[in-house]
Structure 1
Amino acid sequence: MRITSNQTPRSSSGAARDFLLTDSDFARVRTLIHQRAGISLSEQKREMVYSRLSRRLRELGLTEFTSYLAALEADNDSEEWQAFTNALTTNLTAFFREAHHFPLLAEHAVKCPQPLSVWCSAASTGEEPYSIAMTLIEALGSRASSATIIATDIDTQVLEKAAIGVYTMEQVSKISPERLKRFFLKGSGAQAGKVRIRPEVAAMVQFAQLNLLDPRWDLKEPFDAIFCRNVMIYFDKPTQGRILQRFAPLMKPHGLLFAGHSENFSYVNQPFKLRGQTVYELSALGAHRAKGNA
């Protein structure tokens, strides 16, 4: 049946659309991404969902969201699940974002027994784990080469960019000239106008895909610090609580947990105590309980 003009899918603003996103489709998207990645999408995210997933429909040659979602639900191991998750993941990051955290990390690193280990649980395109690496080099000098930074993210596409470690001048515009000279290589030829992380900095960071909702995290070593910044805001409170409880057994005594500027975990009955602005410390009681549950 041919669709007439008054049946053309339209957005809330009245603009014509290529596809129809029904209330049922949107509800299914919200359910699926919550089950898969723990992300809680509000009603206000409908336009974002349409914009991002409609690209997948075009690439796959599909004509409706209903059939796309049905195909996902029919095959729990489909590779399309990763593309679906990547599409609905927000990756806002910057070098030395929330700058007050890094002097605290440096102070903590100097006091910790070596070698140091840090987990960056939302690495995105690499700015955060590389900022951690630069901070450790400045704080520890030659001892920083033995430090390990595990950088994970649910989005495989951003991890690929992070591992390459190439950035535009705009992306590094807020980094001091001293740090730019010390930690980056200036591009030339086809890479003119860009910079690359120096090999000695990149060597400290190990990138891997990880979903915080996975029943098992393939992480072997206890960490002196965990960065989980601006991630929990996408989870509901029960999910936040479960993740915080799982962090504790992975941390060394008095390890630090760095949260995002809009995240507050004081309401959760968890083994951390507030150390500073959006920085939490594993308490002695929390460490004891974590050890008993390990």
Structure 2
Amino acid sequence: MSEQREPGVDASQWASSHQIERDLVLTDTDFSRIRELIYQRAGIVLAEHKREMVYSRLAKRLRHHGLTRFTDYLLRLERQPDAKEWEAFTNALTTNLTAFFREAHHFPLLAEHLRHKQSPVTIWCSAASTGEEPYSLAMTLLETLGPKAAQAKIVATDIDTDALSRARAGIYPQEQVRKLDEARVKRFFQKGTGQQQGLARVRPEVSELVEFMPLNLLSTQWPVKGPFDAIFCRNIMIYFDKETQAKILKRFAPLMKPDGLLFAGHSENFSYISDAFKLRGQTVYTRA
């Protein structure tokens, strides 16, 4: 559908009102370099059409440093390979789209898989974002295992340190929590009052099951130890190219128990990427 101008507004006024305000200079060379750097640092493949996103997300970093040209910002980064700013650069370009019990069909499958486990359950959530996914896993364990859930452990990692800080806090808008069924809200959340009105915090029995830590899936060393009963790697592989996906899957396999499950996102298909896993059900895999 084409966009319509308001009556009485001439073409030049209409065009001007629909232009994105630009106070910073982002050249084609800058954008290409940003794409290279985020790929090198995090394996993220930025498409050509992400230019506006890159501008809007990194603009805050330039303004923070009093810069007006992306060229100057990138030079500053590259001159200081170990600078803290690299973390802010990566955080800015990381997408954190998540929700409690997102792709809900996975959680009953996980519950059935773990219901009769004798040894303490261990799960790795490899793209924890702001915490909704690992806390959903913790709630599933509490509902499924009862008192035995206290012995379980969920390792929740993410490259975005800002997102992890929010995850550790475990505080969310009540309208986000209300999307869950009433029984879960009452059992697993504390309602905020006073200055915290409108917010909800996950209860200690939930947060105690989760250990958050930063992790870059491209790093040569991962600070996690298996074997895991399940690995959740959902909706992150879509940001990597096939070569990177294959390398990560190959490293997942030895970290899983022989009957361990690997959970993928709804738009991800690992069957044609790696022979380390075979499809068991809808976006759920087992070791081959």
How far apart are 1:34 and its partner, in Å? Answer: 0.2
Instruction: Please give the per-residue CA displacement for 1:13-50, whole angstroms capped at 9, x wherever unaligned.
Output: 64340111111000000000000000000001000000
Question: Which residue of 182, 191, 216 maps to 2:196?
Answer: 191
Identity %: 66
Instruction: Please give the per-residue CA displacement for 1:71-90, whole angstroms capped at 9, x wherever unaligned.
Output: 11111101000000000000
Q: Which residue of 2 aligns with 1:287?
A: none
Q: Which residue of 1 aligns with 2:40?
A: 35
Q: Which residue of 2 aligns with 1:225?
A: 230
Q: Which residue of 1 aligns with 2:56?
A: 51
Q: Which residue of 1 aligns with 2:7?
A: none
SS in 2 for 1:111: coil
Instruction: Please give the per-residue CA displacement for 1:176-197, whole angstroms capped at 9, x wherever unaligned.
Output: 0000011111111111121110
The 8 Å contact of residues 168 and 195 in structure 1, kept in 2 or not, is answered as yes
The 8 Å contact of residues 123 and 129 in structure 1, kept in 2 or not, is answered as yes
Structure 1 residue ranges, 4+ long, deviating more than 4 angstroms after superposition: none
Gaps of 5+ in 2: 1-15
The 8 Å contact of residues 228 and 260 in structure 2, kept in 1 or not, is answered as yes
SS in 2 for 1:258: strand
Q: Which residue of 2 aligns with 1:60?
A: 65
How far apart are 1:120 and its partner, in Å? Answer: 0.3
Q: Which residue of 2 aligns with 1:289?
A: none
The 8 Å contact of residues 241 and 270 in structure 1, kept in 2 or not, is answered as no
Structure 2 distance, partners of 1:280, 1:34, is 27
| Amino acid corresponding to residue 95 of structure 1 in structure 2 | F
Report the TM-score, using the length of structure 1 for normalisation.
0.91
How far apart are 1:57 and its partner, in Å? Answer: 0.3
The 8 Å contact of residues 244 and 270 in structure 1, kept in 2 or not, is answered as no
How far apart are 1:230 and its partner, in Å? Answer: 0.3
Instruction: Please give the per-residue CA displacement for 1:153-189, whole angstroms capped at 9, x wherever unaligned.
Output: 0000010111011111121121000000111111111
Question: Which residue of 143, 149, 159 maps to 1:144?
Answer: 149
Instruction: Please give the per-residue CA displacement for 1:180-218, whole angstroms capped at 9, x wherever unaligned.
Output: 011111111111121110101110000000000001001
Q: Which residue of 2 aligns with 1:172?
A: 177
| Amino acid corresponding to residue 44 of structure 1 in structure 2 | H
Structure 2 distance, partners of 1:86, 1:114, is 36
- Structure 2 counterparts to residues 96-111 of structure 1, below 5 A: 96-111=101-116
Larger deviation, residues 105-114 vs 220-229:
105-114
SS in 2 for 1:247: helix
Larger deviation, residues 185-194 vs 132-141:
185-194
Structure 2 distance, partners of 1:194, 1:221, is 35
| Amino acid corresponding to residue 145 of structure 1 in structure 2 | A
SS in 1 for 2:177: coil
- Structure 2 counterparts to residues 257-276 of structure 1, below 5 A: 257-276=262-281
Q: Which residue of 2 aligns with 1:160?
A: 165
Q: CA RMSD in A?
A: 1.2
SS in 2 for 1:170: helix
Q: Which residue of 1 aligns with 2:250?
A: 245
Q: How many residues align?
A: 272
Structure 1 distance, partners of 2:192, 2:204, is 14
Larger deviation, residues 103-112 vs 208-217:
103-112
- Structure 2 counterparts to residues 109-148 of structure 1, below 5 A: 109-148=114-153
The 8 Å contact of residues 116 and 146 in structure 1, kept in 2 or not, is answered as yes
Gaps of 5+ in 1: 1-10, 284-294
How far apart are 1:70 and its partner, in Å? Answer: 1.0
How far apart are 1:269 and its partner, in Å? Answer: 2.9
Instruction: Please give the per-residue CA displacement for 1:218-251, whole angstroms capped at 9, x wherever unaligned.
Output: 1123110000000000000100000000000110
Instruction: Please give the per-residue CA displacement for 1:233-280, whole angstroms capped at 9, x wherever unaligned.
Output: 000010000000000011011100000000011111321111111111
Structure 2 distance, partners of 1:144, 1:276, is 25
Residue 85 (structure 2) pairs with residue 84 (structure 1): no
The 8 Å contact of residues 249 and 274 in structure 2, kept in 1 or not, is answered as no
The 8 Å contact of residues 223 and 250 in structure 1, kept in 2 or not, is answered as yes
Q: Which residue of 1 aligns with 2:4?
A: none
Q: Which residue of 1 aligns with 2:12?
A: none
SS in 2 for 1:113: coil
Structure 2 distance, partners of 1:59, 1:113, is 52
How far apart are 1:111 and its partner, in Å? Answer: 3.4
